Structure 1
Amino acid sequence: MFIKTNLAKFLGKVSYLVLHNIFNGGTSFPGKLAVKIDHNILEELASDYEVILVTGTNGKTMTTSIITEALKEKYGDVLTNPSGSNMLQGIITAFLAHRKKHSQRKIAVLEVDEAYLKIITTYLKPKVVVLTNIFRDQMDRYGEIYTTYEKIITGIKNCPDATIVANGDASIFSSDDLTNQKIFYGFDLNNSDQKTDLLAPVNTDGVLCAKCHNILHYHEIVYANLGNYFCPKCNFHRPKLKYTVNEIVKQTPKSLTFKMGTKVYQMAIGGTYNIYNALAAYSVAKEFGLSDDEIARSFSKNKRIFGRQELINYSDKEIILILVKNPVGLDSVLNMLNTENDDYSLITLLNANHADGIDTSWIWDSNYESLHKENIKHILVGGSRHQDMHLRLKVAGFDPKIMETTPTDDELIDAIPNLPCKKIYILSTYTAMLSLRKKMAERKIINVNM
């Protein structure tokens, strides 16, 4: 066993160095190779780490990044999987690729695919599991939200000693009978009125009471099914929150200013959904002993990571690349765009590969109609399903005269310098984003390792 484990480590690390340094890759294959040699390699690699797992539908990558940066402020080196490769082979690769530096504690912060949590927790026992949210996403792979949550619950049952840090504004996270210690975070804005009685928008998922299955009401709705919920028919209601956002001071597409506890925090990124990600990270950081000042410093250093409001400068344009993959996430991005005061060009890329979900009907559940059309001066439509997206935007009321189809990445990149606005927002599904970034790297517009 000892020989097999060492061989798996050695070949995995060698393959990573070759793939990473020569081919700018290696986010998955080294782990795949290592686990083929030693099925229990992850258990060995993670044996002396305090592990934090982050899972949920939206926000996994950003939350993982923010937690990692926060813990670095106090503890130095922190292991993570920054590429977003969040299945078994990708997580093994993260351990193989990690170059150990000075650290007061050996901590690993790992994004985990919802369906793979049950596999990961058979090999390692996390100290903390962070639950961001559950929304309808890739129906062909995950099914309905309750099916997705069952996959997560199965994984958590493998680690009964782990502390659950969960979004308390998502009622589904209070619907189980887990014995784990639970810590909840959520929004508790100053203008919240406990006498208010609201209903979520029509067709919102996850609004059934976990006890009596009646429709939940809300004292406050943040977006979608998230908020201060209660059931008017029974005593089911939002749990007591340990960590809260108390005020949203200011939002722009490039910045957030918000208050948690008695301190105001700032981040150079937009979107209410990213305040939830920051709050999840804040909750973990406080549990790991960080001060408000240490957390604030880490927030101020927050990086625009791979495809999550990633900033790209090309020609004289300022391009913001944003991953979109499901109705709730897309609507959150559209709401963020409506905080933009300047004119901009919009690019939408839609693919339907396995990693995106092959069913693209979700674009009809998103509210493109809500976009402030007067700020959008030109639209490029691309991706393998560009015809579907073109039709969707036409139905949403956009003038076909300002819409242009660019089926290939080269055509899209060639068209960008001629767009009428300095600011460009690209909303892209996952594989379309990978393809565009690869082409941009080939043309030296970005560094492939950005």
Structure 2
Amino acid sequence: MSLRSSFATTVGKTSRWFLQTFFKGGSSLPGKIALAIDPNVLDQLAKDYHIIVITGTNGKTLTTALTVNVLKQEFGEVLTNTTGANMLQGIVSTFLSGKKNKNGKNFAVLEIDEASLSKVTEFLTPELFVFTNIFRDQMDRYGEIYTTYKLIVDGAKKAPQATILMNGDLPIFNSVETVNPRKYYGFNHQLDEEISAHYNTDGVLCPHCHHILKYKMITYSNLGKYYCPHCNFKRPDLDYQLTEIKETTNTSAKFKIDEDDYSIEVGGLYNVYNALAATSVAEYYNISPEKIRKGLAYDEKVFGRQEIIDINGKKCTLMLVKNPVGLNQVIDTMKMSPFNFSLVALLNANYADGIDVSWIWDSQLEELAEMDIPKVISGGERKDDMTLRLKVAGINEDILTEVNELKQVIEEIKSAPTEHVYILATYTAVLNLRKELTQQGFIKEAN
């Protein structure tokens, strides 16, 4: 390491210690300081790491957490950007926090925003990319799904030797050739039958001849065993496959991947995909099923992903929602609940949420009206939009309450007629709600 890089690293680590010790924060500032001293400091910080980058629309955070926990079983401590800081200064800060393993196997698993990937790979050389999925999401930032896919493919090709491990059930991931070698994971758990995707589904046109794709099996949205009846476009052979779903509940799932039994303590079919992605990474690195099983047993709920918060005896499950496909999967998970529940829907429209809220009209909120929900609370900065959408979905006005402030949301939860409450919230709404709950003592601050 050069003298300049060494000095930048020392100053960056010192500033990180100071900020964490006295201010309990500063996720990106140490990296910014280190970069000001040496713009190439990341080259030195990251040179001894096996770097895995996880990106996509939905599932990045949980897939990252599961992957880290599985890799720990084999290699020891794994570096990851748990704060979600995925711009250059945030990545530098992440590596400033790293401690090398004595066994010499140093892994970094980084969750990277789709739009940021190309910038990050200018400075890092991953050896493995994981593409979870591409769905319509924050169109003001990303545009249509093909624009988003081009962003991440362009980011990956800056590390052309790195393998892309991608969701084989998604047609867009097989739509163009890549300079990177590819491997695929997916579901192979049902007998073939002829089926078509729902008419309001994105990404079901053949990229070669533009006819509507058919399916032998669909998991959800446009994911499944697809083929084009007019040309030879079809799902690629899977390198890693889920072969059986034994049980899915609102809080857990049991399944087989490549004939080995696994389980996770989080509900929903969409989270089984996250577990499949993490397991595929583990198999790529030849980790044993026993260690994978132990890693998937990770039951600490990730921020806003089925996080359970007790509010005066009400068991509140916090669910982050940000696009139609994700919201539909959350609704499907709620439908599996063996108990009655009340519902809170918080809609914000800041940059991190996506300014355009029209996506709520493409979700299947009508299914809520078919459930026996005794109380529904709408809130957030765009509460009027959410209230209107819920009314159009068929929610009876007698059970629907619109509130202005988060303090009032919490008071309404306290008086809910059910023990269980589901809270569906966009990203900044989750942040704001957790901050208010922390101030009121319902969430303990991290040390």
Short-chain TM bin = over 0.9
Q: Which moved more, 1:15-24 or 1:322-331?
A: 15-24
Mapping of 1:400-419 within 5 angstroms? 400-419=397-416
> Which residue of the partner structure matches residue 160 of structure 2?
160
Change (3 A) 1:415 1:19: farther
Q: Which moved more, 1:163-172 or 1:434-443?
A: 434-443
SS in 2 for 1:159: coil
Contact 2:249–2:336 (CA<8 Å) still a contact in 1? yes
SS in 2 for 1:313: strand
Number of equivalenced pairs: 447
Contact 1:438–1:448 (CA<8 Å) still a contact in 2? no
SS in 2 for 1:206: coil
Q: Which moved more, 1:293-302 or 1:86-95?
A: 86-95
Q: 1:225 is matched by which residue type in structure 2?
A: N
Change (3 A) 1:92 1:435: same
Distance 1:29 1:405 in 2: 39
Contact 1:77–1:103 (CA<8 Å) still a contact in 2? no
Change (3 A) 1:445 1:24: farther
> Which residue of the partner structure matches residue 244 of structure 2?
247
- TM-score (ref. length: structure 1): 0.95
Contact 1:78–1:103 (CA<8 Å) still a contact in 2? no
Q: 2:168 is matched by which residue type in structure 1?
A: G
Distance 2:108 2:182 in 1: 20
Distance 1:308 1:8 in 2: 36
Mapping of 1:180-199 within 5 angstroms? 180-189=180-189, 191-193=190-192, 196-199=193-196
Distance 1:10 1:356 in 2: 36
Which whole-Å deviations, capped at 9, do the CAs of 1:243-299 have from their partners, x for residues lacking one? 111121111111111121222211110010100000000000011121111111111
State the Cα RMSD in Å. 1.7
Distance 2:104 2:336 in 1: 41
Runs of 4+ in 1 over 6 A off after TM superposition: none
- TM-score (ref. length: structure 2): 0.96
The structural deviation recorded for 1:318 is: 1.1
Q: Which moved more, 1:203-212 or 1:264-273?
A: 203-212
Mapping of 1:38-117 within 5 angstroms? 38-100=38-100, 102-103=102-103, 105-117=105-117
Distance 1:376 1:31 in 2: 47
> Which residue of the partner structure matches residue 216 of structure 2?
219
Matched, 1:12 2:9: no
Distance 1:377 1:16 in 2: 48
Distance 1:338 1:117 in 2: 35
Q: Which moved more, 1:38-47 or 1:356-365?
A: 38-47
Gaps of 5+ in 1: none
Distance 2:14 2:92 in 1: 14
Which whole-Å deviations, capped at 9, do the CAs of 1:56-103 have from their partners, x for residues lacking one? 110001100000000001111110111222222222221122344555
Distance 1:22 1:408 in 2: 31
2:307 to 306, 310, 316: 310
The structural deviation recorded for 1:230 is: 0.4
Matched, 1:259 2:256: yes
Which whole-Å deviations, capped at 9, do the CAs of 1:334-378 have from their partners, x for residues lacking one? 111111121011111110001111100000010001236433221
Q: 1:245 is matched by which residue type in structure 2?
A: L
Q: 1:192 is matched by which residue type in structure 2?
A: L
